[in-house]
A and B are shown apart, each in its own frame.
Chain A
Amino acid sequence: MRELFEIFWSFLKIGAFTFGGGYAMIPLIQHEVITNRRWLAEKDFLDLLTLAQAAPGPIALNTAVFVGYKQRGYVGSLAAVAGVVVPSFTILLLVAMFFADIRNNQWVDAAFRGMRPAVVALIIAPIVGLTRGMHAAFVALAMAVAVVVWYFGISPVWFLVAGAAAGVALAAYRGKGVKR
């Protein structure tokens, strides 16, 4: 029981102090899970990150499931996920309740007019890092997906399914080659 609470508490801290999400929170997770609690070895952490990125869903949540499961099985996973979710849920619920009353305030509206283009810039920023080292054909494919999703309003789900299918087909094809 004590260990379950420790898992919950560690991930509560991770959930409460990581702004920006995704890659910004990796150092904090590393510190808590490896240095503080010694739940994982440094070399396992890289494997964990690869898996957390390969699986769907927020990286923080996937990490929580992995570490929780490794320590205490299903119950451990649930405790870790609850830890990540509780701070974000509480804070956002309070903001949502409060924000409705002030959204039409002249100053708040002006502030959001300034923030909207900044939000777009922050979304675009990681694309540069992600496409670095990527094959030109893949970059072109990425841009084609972007334009089709944006212009025709087609759900990106179809492209993910197609990408996954292509990956399976490619692995099967290559596997055959190796056997020969």
Chain B
Amino acid sequence: MIATLLQLLLSYLKIGFFGFGGGYAMLSLIHSEVVVNNGWLTNGEFSDIIAISQMTPGPIALNSATYIGYEVAGVAGAVVATVAVCIPALTIMMLITRFFLKLHNNRYVASVVWCMRPVVVGMIASAALLLIFPHTDDGRSFIDGWSWAIFLLTLAASARKVNPILLIVLSGVAGIVIYGL
């Protein structure tokens, strides 16, 4: 139990520390820690948690930390993962704020941000690839033609700025009609 909590702590410190580019970019990092490195969740469970995190308020990284922490080690796990994911942001952002005016127009900061942009975009794309073409068979996101139809419709609606929560709810209803009835 203590070993699991410690591993959760380390994993989420890592996720918080390297979580550049916000929510979606952090997904491939979370996937790499939670599914690939530690085997705490399957691909399918990971995908379910993203859906839940999108339907509930708050940043996706925080939501997934609480949920995955609970799945792995109960309430203690939820607390450990949530606190751990906050610590790097808290420390680094506090330092940045302190030296705010000095760093403001710093060419190093601007250059680093510029060079990291393609990596952040690549991380978002890899999260999508991992869900579309997983390496294992448990819990595939795409199971038949209907999956692809839902995928394309959601993509088109999202490009027209339709509310993402509404899209998740509608696709859930579609799932019930297609697979449940």
Answer whether A117 and B142 are a contact pair too, CB < 8 Å, given A96-B70, A97-B70, A138-B117. yes
Main secondary structure of the interface of B (DSSP, over half): helix
Interface hits, B63-98 → A, CB 8 Å: 63, 66-67, 70-71, 75, 78, 82, 85-86, 88-90, 92-94, 96-98
Main secondary structure of the interface of A (DSSP, over half): helix
Q: Is the CB of B56 within 8 A of A65?
A: no
- Please tell me if B132 contacts chain A, counting CB pairs below 8 Å: yes
Q: Is the CB of B98 within 8 A of A69?
A: yes
User: Whole-angstrom distance between the alpha carbons of A164 and B116 in the complex?
Assistant: 6
Q: How many A-B residue pairs have CB under 8 A?
A: 369
Chain A, residues 109-127, CB within 8 Å of chain B (1/0): the string is 1111111111111111111
11 contacts between A and B (CB under 8 A): A53-B22, A61-B90, A114-B146, A114-B150, A120-B141, A121-B152, A142-B125, A147-B126, A153-B135, A160-B119, A168-B108
A residues within 8 Å of B by Cβ?
15-24, 47, 51-62, 65-66, 69-70, 74, 77-78, 81, 84-85, 87-89, 91-93, 95-97, 99, 103, 106-107, 109-128, 130-131, 134, 138-139, 141-147, 149-150, 153, 155-157, 159-160, 162-164, 166-168, 170-172, 174-175
